[in-house]
Amino acid sequence: MYKGKNSTSVAKAKTYYKSCMDKQAVESLGIVPALELIKQLGSWTVTSDPVSGTWQESSWNFLDSLLVIHKLNLPAFFHLTVGQDDMHSDQNIITFQQSGLTLGEREEYTGNHTEKYKTAFLGFSTRMGELLGGDNSTRDKMTKVYDLEKSLAEIFMPKEELVDPVAIYHKMTLEEFQTIIGSQFTVKTHVDKLFKANIPLSEEIVVYTVDYFKSLAASSKHPRVKCWPTI
């Protein structure tokens, strides 16, 4: 109840709070929810059991897994969302921008304290991987994860280039964006499946980090990045 009226939003908030506070249920579930999520993504080379499944190169598809991640509103490789149009506040629009780094900031992979952050990254991720069932190869695999993220960080647009909302506002059609991101990734197919709609190539979108997507497209041919990887 909110001011004497039923409120579904308040009810959902209460349910969410109670689920987080139910420590007994959380403890009883253990790592099973995490392993089930891994299975949704097509399994993982770090884990291999009946819950998470066993990763198979022949059946795994990066773009299918990326779609699942974006449906969960997680920003892998880039952030894709629908939000208020900065230039037309009465309208909503699809937006794309760089995202997907575990450490959050580009400078944490490329700055003066890189080794400190890398050590912390590998320590934490290796321990998490081992808790999920990983073996003594887990650290090597997490090093590959770090190397991939570092290569993405290197093509990130610096924060100082993103402070002007007018300068970073690039409105274009899906078709125009496709020419920027390259043939490795079919934008229309991805957004159609994500939003469960037939979105025309003429649909206008906003791309905030154009240079990042240009570099991402170019990196798909780079042996170190390989754009759409398997780790």
Q: Residue 82 region, left (φ>0) first, then alpha (ψ -120 to 50), else beta?
A: beta
198 located within any domain: yes
100 located within any domain: yes
69 located within any domain: yes
**Average pLDDT of span 103-119:** 92
3 located within any domain: no
What tokens does 162 get?
A: 């993103």
129 located within any domain: yes
Q: Is the pLDDT higher at 135 or at 228?
A: 135
**Average pLDDT of span 94-111:** 93
The yes-or-no verdict on residue 89 having pLDDT over 60 is yes
The total domain count for the chain is 1
DSSP, residue by residue, 23-55: HHHHHHHTTHHHHHHHHHTT--SS--BTTTB--
21 located within any domain: no
The yes-or-no verdict on residue 217 having pLDDT over 70 is yes
44 located within any domain: no
CATH number, position 177 = 1.10.1380.10
Strands 88-98 and 78-85: antiparallel
What tokens does 167 get?
A: 């300068």
pLDDT in tens, 169-205: 999 999 999 999 998 899 999 999 999 999 999 999 9
What tokens does 71 get?
A: 């449906």
104 located within any domain: yes
Stated as kind and residue range, the H or E segment containing 205 is strand 204-207
Residues of the domain holding 69:
61-219
